[in-house]
Structure 1
Amino acid sequence: MTDANRATGLNQRTWSRGGLHLRDVTFDAPFDHFDGGAALPGAASASSAAPASIEVFARIIATETDSTKPHLVFLQGGPGVEAPRPITPVGRSTWLARALEDFQVVMLDQRGTGRSSPIGSVSGRITGLDGVGDDPTDIAEALSRYRADAIVEDAEVLRQGLGIDTWSLLGQSFGGFTALRYVSAHSESLNEVYFTGGLPAIGTDPATVYATTWEGMKDKSEQYYRAFPGDRDKLARLVDLAETGGGIALPGGARATTERIRLLGHFLGASDGPEKLHYLLDLDPASAAFRHDLAAALPFSGRNPLYAVVHESCWADGGVTNWAARRAMPADVSADPTLLAGEHAGPESLTEDPELAPFAEVGQLVAARDWPRLYDADALRAADVRGAAAVYFEDAYVPPEYSLATADLLEGVKSWVTNEYEHNGLRADGYRVLDRLIGLARE
């Protein structure tokens, strides 16, 4: 490995494995790209409650040592999850294999994840926010700088540091939300943009979106029980067990109460999920295997705390979220815990897991924040960027009707509406999905 290019503000190390040439890049980005914005009541100013900068990491993957191919930035789903790590040799059916035919791929660890100043909790204290202190109001104020708008500005620092005039984007799920913000704020930096299950609603109360996803999850729950008729009774017994014992005890001191058990419905948003859920419910609830597997299956955990704490804020194109998914829960779902949830975050995930408990008060403050707008509809209409979007007709997390309305604002982006895939289409059949999008964009 070699150090290089410190004069540009980037620290770079190159290495090779399995036919891939990789360049690891770290750089400093401003912690606050927006000069403070509107602070939470009682919060210290940004200058006194946060560091001036944070370290951000990206890995550039190519098939040639000094490739002249253009760059494609992969924006990961989440929020709060780092970019994938390449496995060599690259599988021929993966999106990465297709991307490397045309591009060098930039895997960006979004701030607060992976090697980009990761946020977590260790021994009951929040880590990764040096200089912020322990006051929940100041921590919540700092976490307001971890949305798509800040991630885009970090990427712009990297692009300029690398001396790249323009590059392209591939956004999966929340990564698509981030890509849309990129088009809205910096379309002049982009050649092409691809969305997979990631065109969000614009200017819409998140509770309205979640009301739609609840209806979708009701349908997916009933479809699941028709495929696995005995599993409704199994899940009802789990709920009874949770209700009588104050929650099912999990390894590490966590508990799973009724609403956390309901979150097992997130399996139903992926093509291979129903079988995974069935095999979990097939285990004896009293066994250690079941307790460990249940803990691993719950979507909000201490591994990626930002996923739970700022999850709803990614939908907030202005306004206050105030636990929008819980506010939007239909009465029939509330009355029947066998009707499962998807990515419907609630405050219990922050109180029933010891690793997330330090974020409980912070999460309430984040939910009460009045967020600025993320997208400018006029800028989206004016953007001269070509691309394509995979809109999944039965997407459990990003309703297609909102995606298509947003796609109408993007003159250069063509939509592919399909029921061949669930939300995980890019993971399930990545080569074909990305190849179809590239073909659409370049017709």
Structure 2
Amino acid sequence: MSTIVRRLLDLTIEEHTLTVPLVWGDPNDHRTIEIYASVVAREGGEALPYLVFLQGGPGHEAPRPFHSSTSPAWLDDALKHYRVVLLDQRGTGRSTPVGDQDLARGAAEVAEHLTHLRADAIVRDCEAMREHLGAATWSVLGQSFGGFTTLAYLSTDAASLADVFITGGLSAVGRHPDDVYALCYDKMRTASERYYRRFPEHRESMRRLVDLADAGEIVLPDGEIVSRSRLRSMGSALGSNEGWQAVWSLLERDPATNAFRYDLMNAMPYGGRNPLYFVFHESSYADGYATRWSAERTEPTDFREDPTLFTGEHIRSEWTETVPAFRPWRDVALTLAEFQWPRTYDAKTIAASGATGAAAVYVDDVYVPMEFSLETARLLPDVKLWVTSEHEHNGLRSGPVLPRLIDLAHGRRLR
């Protein structure tokens, strides 16, 4: 293990690196990985309790604590109450990251490695980091997939958690991934029609773009020949507070311009920077099931017939052939799609956890549907709910969500 201490303006940043098992609980497997976290405190806050932040994804590292426009919007609020632990989840950032260089080991070996990067293993890493820091308990802030990981935490190690704060991350518990992706299509249908009611002329713009895509005439700077399914995935932007602006900008542009091609490349989800986000995404809903390209299989008839309907986090197997960044990962993705994932959550243990804290549930969330979030919330009667239509899925990053949850958890009136 190693620790480095840095000062950045009025912040103290301790960088911690631990060596942990790749496979927790198997004494015969001697493979190890490194886990990295930065512990951030404001001057005078060095004795505050810890709050570990669990990032969305899966497949994204924690944000970096720079005291500037790159710092997450919620960090200043968190540092008033906590020392914040920014953990790079295994396989990301500085926690033995997974990348294209690993493919030289062979698809079967890489796929097997990835099966050990799920939420339950991240919880074991958290426990190792908590013990390393000497904290009897700590609180957790779980955004999106980080909320899923928090539910896994409550399934095994609830006694380690003081308060839990969950934003857009009350996942379905015990449901098949098909249930989730089918409901996400319903959410995207609603979001699509809401967008076209505001900008009706853009429906025809989208039809023209689909025709260009079908003709192979939209080629991105990285060489991708954009398929209609990839084009429609620009709708994932509608899951964020200002995402409609990105869609509007694309549908206003001349598709022959550099600006359109670069902006489209940046607007579509699952880029090559974090291959885990694409290869590993459906596993986040695989609570005891194989996914078998769930989002693709559950596509409703009207989405097949009307290409102007946007899609969100709906992955397609064809992208392993049409997207240059994903093509090298094809065999890994196909293997994981057939993998029988173990259960992540234990509903009875969650319900018996006595967890306290607060959770934000977004009414219009196109990624983590409100209906299943409310179903899961019933397992956590002492975690107070804020159900709101003020924000989309990225509310933590774009609005004062965390202060409201802290106030709610401690019985103060919402600001």
Maintained 8 Å contact 1:269/1:422? yes
Separation (CA, whole Å) in 2 of partners of 1:375 and 1:34: 17
Displacement after TM superposition at 1:249 (Å)? 1.5
SS of residue paired to 1:255: coil
Displacement after TM superposition at 1:12 (Å)? 0.7
Maintained 8 Å contact 1:91/1:97? no
Q: Report the counterpart of residue 157 of structure 1 in structure 2.
A: 128
Is 1:440 the equivalent of 2:408? Answer: yes
Maintained 8 Å contact 1:79/1:306? yes
Separation (CA, whole Å) in 2 of partners of 1:218 and 1:272: 18
Displacement after TM superposition at 1:294 (Å)? 1.2
Match of 2:4 among 4, 7, 13: 13
Amino acid at match of 1:54: I
Match of 1:427 among 394, 397, 400: 397
Structure 2 gap ranges (5+): none
Maintained 8 Å contact 2:289/2:341? yes
Q: Report the counterpart of residue 212 of structure 2 in structure 1.
A: 241
Maintained 8 Å contact 2:21/2:32? yes
Maintained 8 Å contact 1:121/1:356? no
Is 1:67 the equivalent of 2:54? Answer: no
Displacement after TM superposition at 1:289 (Å)? 2.0
Q: Report the counterpart of residue 248 of structure 2 in structure 1.
A: 278
Displacement after TM superposition at 1:253 (Å)? 2.0
Maintained 8 Å contact 1:94/1:427? yes
Instruction: Summarize the alignment of residues 242-261 of structure 1 with structure 2, pairs less than 5 Å apart.
Output: 242-245=213-216, 248-261=218-231
Maintained 8 Å contact 2:139/2:162? yes
Displacement after TM superposition at 1:34 (Å)? 4.1
Maintained 8 Å contact 2:98/2:276? yes
Query: Structure 1 residues 227 and 296 mapped into 2: Cα distance closer, same or farther (>3 Å)?
Result: same
**Alpha-carbon deviations, 1:243-284, whole Å to 9, x = none?**
112x62111222210111110010111110111111122222
Q: Report the counterpart of residue 4 of structure 1 in structure 2.
A: none
Q: Report the counterpart of residue 313 of structure 1 in structure 2.
A: 283
Separation (CA, whole Å) in 1 of partners of 2:72 and 2:334: 42
Instruction: Summarize the alignment of residues 363-374 of structure 1 with structure 2, pairs less than 5 Å apart.
Output: 363-374=333-344
Maintained 8 Å contact 1:377/1:409? yes
Match of 2:140 among 157, 169, 184: 169
Maintained 8 Å contact 2:64/2:71? no
Query: Structure 1 residues 356 and 385 mapped into 2: Cα distance closer, same or farther (>3 Å)?
Result: same
Separation (CA, whole Å) in 1 of partners of 2:262 and 2:200: 25
Separation (CA, whole Å) in 2 of partners of 1:300 and 1:158: 29
Displacement after TM superposition at 1:89 (Å)? 4.5
Displacement after TM superposition at 1:226 (Å)? 1.4
Maintained 8 Å contact 1:206/1:321? yes
Displacement after TM superposition at 1:346 (Å)? 1.4
SS of residue paired to 2:47: coil
Q: Report the counterpart of residue 17 of structure 2 in structure 1.
A: 26
Q: Count matched residues.
A: 411
- Identical-residue share of aligned pairs (%): 47
Separation (CA, whole Å) in 1 of partners of 2:70 and 2:338: 44
SS of residue paired to 1:169: strand
Query: Structure 1 residues 33 and 433 mapped into 2: Cα distance closer, same or farther (>3 Å)?
Result: same
Structure 1 gap ranges (5+): 1-9, 37-45, 128-132
Amino acid at match of 2:291: T
Q: Report the counterpart of residue 147 of structure 1 in structure 2.
A: 118
Separation (CA, whole Å) in 2 of partners of 1:30 and 1:271: 39
Amino acid at match of 2:157: H
Separation (CA, whole Å) in 1 of partners of 2:294 and 2:157: 29
Separation (CA, whole Å) in 2 of partners of 1:161 and 1:198: 27
Displacement after TM superposition at 1:91 (Å)? 9.3
Report the TM-score, using the length of structure 2 for normalisation: 0.95
Report the TM-score, using the length of structure 1 for normalisation: 0.89
SS of residue paired to 2:96: coil
Displacement after TM superposition at 1:236 (Å)? 1.2
Query: Structure 1 residues 397 and 92 mapped into 2: Cα distance closer, same or farther (>3 Å)?
Result: closer
